[in-house]
Amino acid sequence: MKMTSSKNVFALIFSFALIAGCSSTGETTGEGGMGTSAGSASGEESGSTVFGGGDGSGVSSSEMTEQERMEAEARAEQAQAEAMREITTFYFDFDTAEIKQEARDVLVAHARYLQANPGQNVRITGHADERGTKEYNLALGERRANAVQRFLVVNGASRGQTETVSYGEEQPAVMGSSESAWAQNRRVELDFE
């Protein structure tokens, strides 16, 4: 029985310690103090503040309207499209003019930009690695440039905004006769004018 009493006392003391350690008074230390309770810094009772200074200039998720959310999403999509448009070099596999899957979304962003800006023109230059004859590589560079041009036109650009040129193997991006160098030379570049 003595053992059961000590267990009960220990359990009771542990419970009080746990409650005391977990409780919070929510008191503040006054103006400019560090002990401000949650929510009082921005004057809100619920929601989260994305950016908030002491003047309450933050944007609260509970205060955003549906229109503001849609505008924020549109700005994010526009920023993503602009970031995609920074990519202007597209690589090809050996002896093919097939546009790779990972390049398609970026090319769609370029096509939409051209569609929205009818006065903008782009020069599409096709390139090949050094393997093969000069004539064959010129033709391969042309097929690659034409494939990109067709993709842009199908996705909204005007044919009048595009010009294609093939340099074949004449303007390598990287000098060398290795697979790494060849892979970087099998490309199409977009040059916006």
Residue 43 has a pLDDT of 43
Is the confidence at residue 55, as pLDDT, over 70?
no
37: phi then psi, degrees, rounded to nearest 5: -75, 160
Q: What sign does the dihedral 64-68-70-76 (CA atoms) show? A: negative
29 exposure class (CB count in 10 Å sphere: 0-12, 13-18, 19+): exposed
- Mean pLDDT, to the nearest integer, of 83-102? 94
Residue 81 has a pLDDT of 83
- Mean pLDDT, to the nearest integer, of 50-76? 72
Is the confidence at residue 92, as pLDDT, over 90?
yes
Q: What is the residue type of 118?
A: P
Is the confidence at residue 176, as pLDDT, over 80?
yes
Domains and CATH numbers, the chain: 88-192 (3.30.1330.60)
192 touches 134 (CB < 8 A): no
Tell me the residue ranges of DSSP E strands in 98-138.
Answer: 122-127
Confidence of residue 12 (pLDDT cuts 50, 70, 90): low
CA distances from 168 to 32, 59, 95, 171 (A): 69, 54, 12, 7
Q: Of residues 49 and 151, which shows the higher confidence score? A: 151
Percent of the chain with pLDDT over 70: 67
115 exposure class (CB count in 10 Å sphere: 0-12, 13-18, 19+): middle
- Using one digit for the tens of pLDDT, what is the confidence trace for 66-75? 888 899 888 9
Residue 52 has a pLDDT of 55
CA pair distance 165, 187, nearest whole angstrom: 12
CA pair distance 11, 18, nearest whole angstrom: 10
